[in-house]
Amino acid sequence: MTEEDKVANHPSALKRIRQNRKRRLRNRMMKSMVRTHVKKLLSAIEQKKVDEARELLKVTTSILHKSASKGVFHPNKAARQVSKLARKVNALAVAG
């Protein structure tokens, strides 16, 4: 028995369940990708690799903004994370 069999009786409700499942999986994938890139960037900062950190910041920023535009994250949360990461990379560049 699938999720659809247990809950929905109407075609519109069945469609909504299918859409929700697809969106949930897409959101999980995007969140996972963001977390992975943020971890890579923080690792580069910790190891004081300035050039690598700058390149990773560009990629991570792009992914964060894209996930915000798709509704995975609130735009303010994405902007806050980008700002925090950029401050860390800039501080590393100044110190190093």
Instruction: Give the model confidence (pLDDT) of 25-79 as tens digits.
Output: 999 999 999 999 999 999 999 999 999 999 999 999 999 999 999 999 999 999 9
Q: Are 19 and 62 in contact (CB under 8 A)?
A: no
CA pair distance 23, 13, nearest whole angstrom: 15
| Residue 4 in this model has a pLDDT that exceeds 70 | no
38: tokens are 């943020």
Residue 43: what residue type? S
| The pair of three-digit structure tokens given for residue 83, joined into one six-digit string | 């700002």
